Chain A
Amino acid sequence: MNREQYLQRLAAALGKLAPAERDEILADYRAYFDDAAADGRSEADVCAALGEPERLARELTAERKLADWEADKSPANMKQALGALAGLGVLNVLLAFPYLFLLTWLGSLWLGAVGLLIAGLVITGSWASHSVFGWPSLDNIVVNDSGVGPWLIATSPHDGQPPRLRIEGDHGETVRIEPDPASGKLVIEARDGDEHFRLERDASGNLAQLQIRDGADTVELSGLPGASSGSVLVLGLVLTVLGLVGSILGWKVLRWVWRGTGRWLRWQQRLVAGEAAVR
Chain B
Amino acid sequence: MKTQLRKGTLEMCVLAVLARHDSYVYEIVSTLAQSMDISEGTIYPLMRRLQADDWVSTYLVESASGPARKYYRLTPGGRDALAAMRQEWGSFVAEINAVLASARPQGETA
A contacts, CB < 8 Å to B: 25, 27-32, 34-36, 39, 46, 49-52, 55-56, 59-60, 63, 67, 270-271, 273-279
A274 CB contact (under 8 Å) in B8, B37, B67, B70: B8
Known contacts A31-B67, A32-B25, A273 near B7 by CB under 8 Å? yes
B6 CB contact (under 8 Å) in A25, A50, A278: A278
Would you give the 0/1 interface string for B5-39, flagging 1 where the beta carbon is closer than 8 Å to chain A? Answer: 01111100000000000001111001000000111
A39 contacts B30, C-beta separation under 8 Å: yes
B67 CB contact (under 8 Å) in A27, A36, A59, A279: A27
Q: A102 vs B103: C-alpha distance in the bound complex, in angstroms? A: 47
Chain B residues whose CB sits within 8 angstroms of the CB of A51 once the complex forms: 39-42
Q: A94 vs B88: C-alpha distance in the bound complex, in angstroms? A: 36
Q: A31 vs B24: C-alpha distance in the bound complex, in angstroms? A: 10
Chain A residues whose CB sits within 8 angstroms of the CB of B27 once the complex forms: 35
Q: Does B93 contact A (CB under 8 A)?
A: no
A60 contacts B45, C-beta separation under 8 Å: yes
Q: A49 vs B42: C-alpha distance in the bound complex, in angstroms? A: 10
Which segment, of B46-54, B74-82, B94-102, faces chain A?
A: B46-54
Q: A116 vs B42: C-alpha distance in the bound complex, in angstroms? A: 52
Query: Contact size class for B?
Result: 20 to 34
A277 contacts B39, C-beta separation under 8 Å: yes
Q: Does B92 contact A (CB under 8 A)?
A: no
Chain A residues whose CB sits within 8 angstroms of the CB of B49 once the complex forms: 63, 270, 273
Chain B interface main SS type: helix
Chain B residues whose CB sits within 8 angstroms of the CB of A28 once the complex forms: 25, 44, 70
In the complex, besides A34-B66, A273-B49, 17 extra interface pairs with C-beta distance below 8 angstroms are A28-B25, A28-B70, A31-B24, A31-B66, A35-B26, A46-B40, A49-B41, A51-B40, A56-B41, A63-B49, A63-B52, A271-B3, A273-B42, A273-B45, A273-B46, A275-B6, A277-B42
B contacts, CB < 8 Å to A: 3, 6-10, 24-27, 30, 37-46, 48-49, 52, 66-67, 69-70
Q: A3 vs B64: C-alpha distance in the bound complex, in angstroms? A: 23
Q: A275 vs B7: C-alpha distance in the bound complex, in angstroms? A: 6
B52 contacts A67, C-beta separation under 8 Å: yes
Chain B residues whose CB sits within 8 angstroms of the CB of A55 once the complex forms: 41
Chain B residues whose CB sits within 8 angstroms of the CB of A278 once the complex forms: 6-7, 9-10, 38
**CB-based nearest A residue for B67:** A31
Known contacts A34-B66, A36-B26, A279 near B7 by CB under 8 Å? no
B13 to chain A, nearest CB (A): 9
Known contacts A28-B25, A35-B24, A50-B40, A270 near B48 by CB under 8 Å? no
B38 contacts A60, C-beta separation under 8 Å: no
A60 contacts B48, C-beta separation under 8 Å: yes
B25 contacts A50, C-beta separation under 8 Å: no
The 9 nearest A-B residue pairs measured at CB: A274-B7, A51-B41, A35-B26, A277-B42, A49-B40, A50-B41, A277-B10, A59-B45, A276-B42
**CB-based nearest A residue for B30:** A39
Q: A157 vs B68: C-alpha distance in the bound complex, in angstroms? A: 83
Q: A190 vs B74: C-alpha distance in the bound complex, in angstroms? A: 81
A-B contact pairs, 16 of them (CB 8 A): A31-B66, A31-B70, A49-B39, A50-B41, A52-B41, A56-B44, A56-B45, A63-B48, A273-B7, A273-B45, A275-B6, A276-B39, A277-B43, A277-B46, A278-B38, A279-B37
